[in-house]
Structure 1
Amino acid sequence: MTTNAPTRHPLPARRAGFARKGSAFLATHPRARLAFLLTAPLFWLVVVYVVALALLLVTAFWSVDSFTGEITTEWTMDNIITVLTGSLYQTVTLRTLGVALAVTIVDVLLALPIAFYMAKVASPRMQRILVILVLTPLWASYLVKAYAWRSVLSQDGILEWLVSPFGGHTPGYGLPATIITLSYLWLPYVILPIYAGLERVPDSLLEASGDLGGRAWPTIRLVVFPLVLPAIIAGTIFSFSLSLGDYITVNIVGGASQMLGNLVYTNVGAANNLPLASAIALIPIVIIFGYLFLVRRTGALDNL
Structure 2
Amino acid sequence: MTTNAPTRQPLRSPRDTVARKGSAFLATHPRARLAFLLTAPLFWLVVVYIVALALLLVTAFWSVDSFTGEITTEFTLDNIIEVVTGSLYQVVTLRTLGVALLVTVIDVLLALPIAFFMAKVASPRMQRVLVIMVLTPLWASYLVKAYAWRSVLSQDGILEWLLAPFGGHTPGYGLPATIITLSYLWLPYVILPIYAGLERVPDSLLEASGDLGGKTWPTLRLIVLPLIFPAIIAGTIFSFALSLGDYITVNIVGGASQMLGNLVYTNVGAANNLPLASAIALIPIVIIFGYLFLVRRTGALDNL
Query: Shared fold by TM > 0.5?
Result: yes
Provide the secondary structure at the position in 2 that maps to 1:233.
helix
State the 1:14 CA deviation.
4.0
Distance 1:7 1:209, change over 3 A: closer
1:146 corresponds in structure 2 to 146
Distance 1:68 1:6, change over 3 A: farther
State the 1:286 CA deviation.
0.3
State the 1:4 CA deviation.
26
Distance 1:14 1:251, change over 3 A: same
State how many pairs are aligned: 304
State the 1:212 CA deviation.
1.1
Cα distance in structure 2, aligned partners of 1:182 and 1:22 = 50
1:169 corresponds in structure 2 to 169
State the 1:2 CA deviation.
29
State the 1:5 CA deviation.
20
Cα distance in structure 1, aligned partners of 2:111 and 2:213 = 27
CA displacement, residues 191-216 of structure 1 (integer Å, 9 cap, x when unaligned): 00000111111111111111111111
TM-score, normalization by structure 1: 0.95
CA displacement, residues 73-111 of structure 1 (integer Å, 9 cap, x when unaligned): 000000000000000000000000000000000000000
Cα distance in structure 2, aligned partners of 1:74 and 1:20 = 53
Moved over 6 A (4+): 1-11
RMSD of aligned C-alpha atoms?
A: 3.6
CA displacement, residues 110-130 of structure 1 (integer Å, 9 cap, x when unaligned): 000000000010001000000
Cα distance in structure 2, aligned partners of 1:132 and 1:145 = 17
Cα distance in structure 1, aligned partners of 2:9 and 2:72 = 59
1:30 aligns with 2:37: no
TM-score, normalization by structure 2: 0.95
Distance 1:262 1:7, change over 3 A: farther
CA displacement, residues 226-272 of structure 1 (integer Å, 9 cap, x when unaligned): 11000000000000000000000001100100000000000000000
State the 1:19 CA deviation.
2.4
CA displacement, residues 29-85 of structure 1 (integer Å, 9 cap, x when unaligned): 222211110100110110000000000000000000000000000000000000000
Cα distance in structure 2, aligned partners of 1:165 and 1:131 = 35
2:257 corresponds in structure 1 to 257
Distance 1:66 1:11, change over 3 A: farther
State the 1:11 CA deviation.
8.8
Cα distance in structure 1, aligned partners of 2:4 and 2:183 = 80
Provide the secondary structure at the position in 1 that maps to 2:281.
helix
Provide the secondary structure at the position in 2 that maps to 1:169.
coil
Distance 1:21 1:152, change over 3 A: same
Structure 2: state its 5+ residue gaps: none
Query: Share of identical aligned residues, percent?
Result: 90
Comparing 1-10 and 171-180, the one that deviates more = 1-10
Comparing 23-32 and 96-105, the one that deviates more = 23-32
Distance 1:148 1:14, change over 3 A: same
State the 1:6 CA deviation.
20
1:247 corresponds in structure 2 to 247
Provide the secondary structure at the position in 2 that maps to 1:12.
coil
